[in-house]
Amino acid sequence: MSKNVGLIIVLSGPSGVGKGTVNRILQKTNTNIMTSVSVTTRPPREGELEGVSYYFKSREEFELLIKEDSFVEYACVYGNYYGTLKSELERIIGMGKSVILEIDTYGAKNIKKLIPNSVSIFVLPPSLAELERRIEGRGTEECQSLTKRVIAAKEEIAFARYYDYIVVNDEATCCASEVATIIRAEMLKVKNNSALIDDIIGGNNIC
């Protein structure tokens, strides 16, 4: 029987929209979905773990990885580097699982250019007022930084029209369920299952 081929799922949205929470729920409820752990030069926040939340690197270490062509995509956001390692994608796809890339709109654009079959999903807040409330609730932003993030959020949301799908994160569990439904539908597309047709014709049992 042919091995399932994993999908590359791009998950984007403005800072504070709850992408991370939605992603964590997906990991807990779907064993065939994994997250690509990004590399960043940003200092760890409380509760974040090396190799789980991010691979935390110095600026010098990150720039060395750039020179070594280790990234599928990378960007500098709010003065910190973020990047997706080629080795991470190869590892997860090689396991026959779908991989979620939690990246910004710039990174998503680059991924779509390099990997046209990737599936892009943009997470919207119910409103800008609710987004601002969520950012304030994290307690990690000063007033000036908060204002910058809200302005940046408007710019990012404008790019949502170029994504394959849009979901609204009014409640994280429901939002994660919608994302899982999208991924399942994509997995069932004929273009992702042509090998099953060949298996049936060849007399193989696919169940």
What pLDDT was estimated at residue 197?
A: 83
User: Between these two residues, 3 and 127, which has the higher pLDDT value?
Assistant: 127
User: Between these two residues, 32 and 172, which has the higher pLDDT value?
Assistant: 172
Q: What is the mean pLDDT of residues 24-33?
A: 91
What pLDDT was estimated at residue 1?
A: 44
Residue 77 has pLDDT above 90, yes or no: no
What pLDDT was estimated at residue 141?
A: 56
- pLDDT tens readout for residues 113-162: 989 999 999 999 999 989 988 877 766 555 556 778 788 889 999 999 99
Average pLDDT, the chain: 88
Q: What is the mean pLDDT of residues 24-30?
A: 92
CATH fold, domain 8-201, is: Rossmann fold (3.40.50)
Pair of tokens at residue 164: 């394959």
Residue 41 has pLDDT above 50, yes or no: yes
pTM: 0.81
3-state SS string for 179-203: HHHHHHHHHCCHHHCHHHHHHHHCC
Q: Residue for token digits 């990690």?
A: 140
Delimit the domains of the chain by residue range.
8-201
pLDDT cut 70: percent of the chain above it:
92
